[in-house]
A and B are shown apart, each in its own frame.
Chain A
Amino acid sequence: MYDFLYHKVNSVDDAVAAMGNADDGKFVAGGQTMLPTMKHRLASPSDVIDLGGVSDLVGIANEGDALVIGAMTTHAAVAASAEVQSAIPALAKLAGNIGDPAVRNRGTLGGSIANNDPAADYPAAVIALGATVKTNKREITGDDFFTGMFETALEEDELITAVSFPIPMTAAYIKFENPASRYAIVGVFIAKTVDGNRVAITGATPCAYRGMKFEKVLNEDFSSNACDAVEVSVDRMNSDIHASAEYRAHLVKVMVKRAVDACG
């Protein structure tokens, strides 16, 4: 890893100021993606701004119709939270199946969605639950936040402060995981809301997306059999050593059906 200037900050303002003064700065949250990337010299920021001391970014609040989770809240904290387990159990389960216990003790919600790995779990929840990403500058809807592979709507000096997840009637997340890393080969999050059903798919394509065709059939008939009518195109699917495009396209439908059944 190349050396860098390290900044420990205690507030969002100080973090943004440090970023403004840096040549080529990067925020670090849990470091579970950033440090391996820097070790491999795939990233070499001039300045690293550690958000670990910004206590305002940690916490889980139930605001009645939504759960607001701070960007620096770890996966372990979300998984263990009684608040999350009762309001959106599917979200607690999702967080509890990210990586392994040591990764969950450091990795954060903000880091996961800022990174937008095509195989990450949280993007599916943010999209399916119709969540809002709050930053130091503005609010971005889940539908607009993820723009491409490892790409988001965030600007260089923009910091995620929290994510607000509307509480659905019911929801489920099912993933077909890579047995070594637990990243999603295909993961499907379904949320039943008063405004209809929302389906989000991660792992399958370069960026998590909404399964609108599935939503349409499920709004008419919420059953796994109804999903058989949907054709999943192979064209946009990822293909790698873990799974071919054809296999992923097949898995998408299987995981959607399992998620429908899990919604009950």
Chain B
Amino acid sequence: MPIVNINVNGKLVSAEVEGRTLLVQFLRENLRLTGTHVGCDTSQCGACVVHVDGKSVKACTMLAVMADACEVTTIEGLANNGSMHPMQQAFMDNHGLQCGFCTPGMVMTALDIVNRNGNDLDDSTVRKELEGNICRCTGYHNIVKSVKAGAKTMGE
């Protein structure tokens, strides 16, 4: 079986995996990082979004072996010494979640939006950028608010 060396949230992990092991399975089942969710079978919901070498990807649509020698950041990698990342805090402050299932993917996508579009975001940019993330609870309104607020705090 192939061996992968992946830097996950700043820690180097080395493991033997089957070729068919998805990155999301590797994170959840091998590393027990269960913050990254699986919400669909069709690569459409975005609950599984993580960053690989700084770019958002759907961890359900990438093999673990494809992430060999890469840096992976998951939702667990955001908090700093027990205090939430400003984007996580913004989701809490703005009621950007209800059941919370979509939230890890939303937050990881939100950070990717800030990386590419800066800290001053308008509604239409955020809505377009969130096209790959589905939420069945909130109606998106407060998610958009949270992303904008989080982006702003990150710039301060």
Contacts and interface: CB of A to CB of B under 8 A. Distances in A.
A50 to B, nearest CB: 6
Interface stretch (A29-37, A133-141, A219-227): A29-37
B63 A100 contact: no
A101 B44 contact: no
Contacts of B129: 101
B58 A102 contact: yes
Interface stretch (B49-57, B75-83, B89-97, B144-152): B49-57
B20 A101 contact: no
A2 B132 contact: no
Interface string B117-136: 00000000000010111000
B44 A35 contact: no
Interface centre among A32, A38, A40, A103 (most CB of B within 10 A): A103
Interface string A1-15: 111111010000000
A105 interface: yes
A38 B42 CA distance: 11
Contact of A182 (B22, B41, B131): B131
Nearest to A36: B43
A233 interface: no
Interface residues of A, number: 28
A39 B41 CA distance: 8
Identify whether the interface residues of A are mostly helix, strand, loop, or mixed: mixed
A45 B9 CA distance: 33
Given A102-B132, A103-B132, A180-B44, A52 B66 contact: yes
Nearest to A39: B41
Contacts of A39: 41
B71 interface: no
Contact of B43 (A2, A4, A5, A32): A32
Nearest to B64: A6
Interface string B17-36: 01110100000000000000
A52 to B, nearest CB: 6
A50 B42 CA distance: 21
A101 B66 contact: no
Contacts of B132: 99-103
Interface in A155-195: 180-182
Given A4-B19, A48-B19, A102-B109, A31 B131 contact: no
B61 interface: yes
Contact of B44 (A31, A40, A181): A181
Given A1-B20, A102-B56, A8 B65 contact: yes
Nearest to A48: B19
B154 interface: no
B66 A32 contact: no
A82 to B, nearest CB: 15
B104 interface: no
A3 B58 contact: no
Contact of B61 (A2, A35, A50, A76): A35
Contacts of B62: 31, 35, 106
Contacts of B58: 102-103, 106
Contact of A36 (B41, B68, B112): B41
8 contacts: A1-B22, A2-B20, A31-B63, A32-B43, A35-B61, A50-B63, A99-B131, A102-B56
Given A6-B19, A101-B116, 11 more contacts: A1-B20, A3-B19, A4-B19, A8-B65, A32-B43, A36-B43, A36-B61, A50-B63, A103-B43, A105-B57, A182-B131
Interface of A: 1-6, 8, 31-32, 35-36, 38-40, 48, 50, 52, 76, 99-103, 105-106, 180-182
Q: Which 4 A-B pairs have the closest CB atoms?
A: A100-B132, A6-B19, A100-B131, A105-B55
